[in-house]
Amino acid sequence: MSAFAIEDFSTIPRYYTALAEWLSCMLLAVTFHNQRRLHGWRLVGASAIGLAALELELILTETLPVYLWSVGMVGSAALMLALLLACLDLRPVEGGYVLTSAFMLAEFAASLSWQLYYYYAAYIIGEEQPVAALVTVLLTYALVFTVYGVLSWRSCPSGRCIAVGRREMLTAMVVAVLFFIISNLSFIFPDTPFTSHYAAEIFNIRTLVDLGALAVLFAMYFQQQELHARYELDAIQTVLETQYVQYRQSRESIDLINRKYHDLKHQIAALRAEPDPQRRSNWLDAMESDIKVYEAQNKTGNTILDTVLTSKSLYCQKHGISLTTVADGALLDFMDAMDICTIFGNALDNAVGSVLKIEDKEKRLIHLSVSGERDFVLIRVENYFEGELTFQEGLPRSTKGDDRFHGFGVKSIRYSAQRYGGTVTVIAERNWFDLKVLIPKNSGKK
């Protein structure tokens, strides 16, 4: 049997297209499992409503004239976006970015399945068979979505969508729209040098162009992942260097203060030699006592930790923050100076930033401890907090407005701990934020 002419050509049934669109959304909801907003029966209910809405929308728009055909496609895309945002914890920009892949995947799966069926119907048996159509569609969908799912899982081991901005979303959408127009051009304008009247050619054009769109979107996604990882690594490295620079500046400031206090002790000794009233003697005693208190504080046994703690202590005193420390600094002798600065500097900076938001100064509490636990060094920083905290990949999400690249302080702590085979855990409950860093004793840096 010869190929069907355009006037004999039957388009893909709308219910099969709706099924492909729904499967695409559900596949991405499974892929980004760590970013899922709904679980259990709620997810099942939302997905069922999404499938019904897609089926109804495509069936209702089936009678629209060809020049309004794009309106139905826009409606389907809007419903797919709503389903994605309902199932996944995505910003609208990220949802739009994910939508491009979901939409083109559905287009490719539907086009390929119907192309295979019509090849069988037109060239092998010479007639249409609904049962054969159903079997072909289901088998093709199973193959396409399985292959895409495997590729997605391998490219997204964290189970999260990479953070993207408006520019990345618009670029992906422009690519998807252009490929979609080219793939369906023969339906609207069959009489051009770039279109065809015949079903086989139309299907070839549409399937291959949709496949090309998926390849381009995948390549863009991989590139975004690489840029995201590079940006994150650069940001973490900047945090490391910043903490070390702060340590060196603090060391210089504290050395200057120590010299001043040393000179002051000599001045006090000279004043004591003079015949002074009792009041002055009492005043000098108080000054000397203050000096002794200063000299005694933050003497942990590790000079680098002492410097960091002294700098942070002075800041806390100035801002009405109660910082208590119980630390055996000698346990940290095997660690590099930069790693000590990174872990303690970032942990205390995060804690200070949190308690400064509390108006009641009696609740501005921070406690730091360093202790030995069998064959491990346990670093623990606790602070009181108010409000709600949400977590992403085990890290608290940024409260500074833009969480596209959130939690670099804690990420840099984890990065430094992992260099020694250590781990970082964060718990926030009952208004207490608890950061724990566990590092094997005397481990070599990796």
- In contact, 376 and 439? CB cutoff 8 Å: yes
**d(C-alpha 183, C-alpha 213), whole Å:** 10
Q: Give, for all 446 residues of the chain, the pLDDT tens digit.
A: 444 443 344 567 888 889 999 999 999 888 887 788 888 888 899 999 999 998 888 888 777 766 666 777 888 889 999 999 999 888 888 888 889 989 999 999 988 988 888 877 766 766 667 788 888 889 999 999 999 888 888 777 667 777 677 888 888 889 888 888 877 766 666 666 655 556 667 777 888 888 888 888 888 887 777 766 665 666 556 555 655 655 665 565 556 566 656 666 666 666 666 666 665 666 666 666 655 555 545 678 888 888 788 778 877 877 888 888 889 988 998 888 778 888 898 899 889 988 998 988 889 999 999 999 888 999 999 999 887 766 665 566 555 544 443 456 787 888 888 888 889 998 888 889 999 999 998 665 55
Q: At what angle do helices 408-418 and 199-272 cross, to 10 degrees?
A: 80
Is the pTM higher than 0.85? The answer reads no
- Helix (H) / strand (E) element for 436: namely strand 432-440
CA distances from 185 to 172, 199, 247, 322, 439 (A): 20, 13, 64, 69, 61
Per-residue burial over 339-352, b if 16 or more Cβ lie within 10 Å, else e, is bbbbbbbbbbbbbb
Task: Dump the DSSP string for 145-158.
Answer: HHHHHHHHHHH-TT
Instruction: Dig out the tokens for 402 from the structure.
Output: 């833009």
Residue 64: phi, psi to the nearest 5? -65, 145
Instruction: Dig out the tokens for 40 from the structure.
Output: 């259990």
